Amino acid sequence: MRNHSTRMSMPMASCTNKRIDIMGVIIHFIALRITCSETQ
């Protein structure tokens, strides 16, 4: 329950920042897979 309450009080900027970080990781992962498949 404590984690949920802290998440609710978190500012909107940090939430969007986390979302951008996740998107960046996904894009990086896709790029890595594309380059790996090209070399093989």
For the chain, domain boundaries: 13-40
The position carrying tokens 């890595």 is: 32
Main-chain phi, psi angles of 39, to 5 degrees: -75, -30
**Looking at residue 29, what is its pLDDT?**
93
The whole-number pLDDT of residue 17 equals 72
CA angle at residue 26 from 20 to 27, to 5 degrees? 90
pLDDT in tens, 1-40: 455 555 555 555 666 677 778 888 999 999 999 887 877 6
pLDDT score recorded for residue 12: 58
pLDDT score, position 38:
74
Distance CA 32, CA 2 (A): 37
Question: Which pLDDT score, from 0 to 100, does residue 28 have?
Answer: 92
Instruction: Output the pTM of the full model.
Output: 0.47
